[in-house]
Amino acid sequence: MQPFIRVSQLKQSFGAQEVLKGVSFDVDKGELLALIGGSGAGKSVILKHLDGLIDPLDGYVDIDGRRISNVPEKVKREIRSKIGFMFQQGALFDSLSVGENVAFPLQEAGLKNEEELDSRISAALESVGLSGQEEKMPANLSGGMIKRVAVARAIVMTPECLLYDEPTAGLDPIVTDSISFLIRQICKDKGITTVIVSHDMPSVIRIADKIVYLREGTVYWTGTPEELLHSEDPVLKKFLYGDSGEDWASLAGMHENFQRVLLERAERERNQ
């Protein structure tokens, strides 16, 4: 089966700095992949290649079998219509209400029918647990609500693929949990292929199907959260726990709990 996203031998430099030295990985349809790695490893740069915002010096990205690298802007725009991007900070327009923020991509795409706009906005807000909040202004929202609105804005175009850059940065642990659940739920309920860049390892362990660890401009390791937790590779251990040698079991336990909660929730929903 063809992967939904194929990243092949991606190379990128800025001036003398070689940031990507031949990065390759695939993401299957409906899969949730987390890109991890130290600060400056090139994670955000990779996301921008996935959306065709940056062209590689060598290598390519295919989205659903179509090349988005080094092709004309018109082709990129067509492919981009399948992709929702939640940028770092999840920036909302401060002068626009929640509803207007979510409406923005629809209006950019030329949708004018008020009734359709309203129903798509309310469906997107419902998906992120913010039904009826259209009139609120960003200044009156909590950090977690701002992220939820940013997620609603990313999904309102009914994308087939979602890219999240640090979606839980700056949130407290409880809100981080709820946003992580939301990202996984949207991915699995709607079958949306998802790539998340995150420093938040507990969240990554909980929600990812597959993890790609970047180091020195290449993919150092790929595997499942379980495989990461059981890896004895000293480089991975050091990345996860620094030199402190924190307890592996606590992360492993968290992952099991999370899977259990997800399974219980899925079971409840099936029985409703």
Ligand X SMILES: Nc1ncnc2c1ncn2[C@@H]1O[C@H](COP(=O)(O)OP(=O)(O)OP(=O)(O)O)[C@@H](O)[C@H]1O
- Our CB check for ligand X shows the closer of 154 and 214 to be 214
* Burial annotation 149-185 (CB, 10 A radius, 16+ → b, else e): bbbbbbbbbebbbbbbbbbbbebeeebbbbbbbbbbb
At 28, which amino acid appears?
Answer: D
One of 7, 34, 41, 63 touching ligand X (CB under 6 A): 41
C-beta of 57: minimal distance to ligand X in Å?
13
Cβ-based neighbours of 216, under 8 Å, separated by 6 or more:
21, 41
The region of 1-9, 32-40, 64-72, 144-152 touching ligand X under the rule CB under 6 A is 32-40
Closest to ligand X by CB, 177 vs 200, is: 200
Backbone angles phi, psi at 168, to 5 degrees: -110, 10
- Smallest separation, CB 259 to ligand X (Å): 27
Residue 38 or 132 having the CB closest to ligand X: 38
Give the whole-angstrom CA distance, residue 57 versus residue 73. 17
In which element (H, E) is residue 8 found? strand 5-14
Phi, psi of 267 (to 5 degrees): -60, -45
The verdict on 42 binding ligand X (CB under 6 A) reads yes
Q: Is the CB of 14 or the CB of 245 nearer to ligand X?
A: 14
Nearest approach in angstroms of CB 42 to ligand X is 4
Nearer to ligand X, 27 or 125 (CB): 27
Q: Per-residue DSSP letters for 33-99?
A: EEEEESTTSSHHHHHHHHTTSS--SEEEEEETTEE-SSS-HHHHHHHHTTEEEE-GGGPPPTTS-HH
Q: How far is the CB of 267 from ligand X (least distance, A)?
A: 36
> Minimum CB separation from ligand X for residue 114, in Å?
39
Task: Tell me the closest approach of the beta carbon of residue 101 to ligand X, in angstroms.
Answer: 24
| Residue selected from 3, 8, 19, 100 as contacting ligand X according to rule CB under 6 A | 19
Provide the binding-site residues for ligand X, judged by CB under 6 A: 14, 19, 37, 39-45
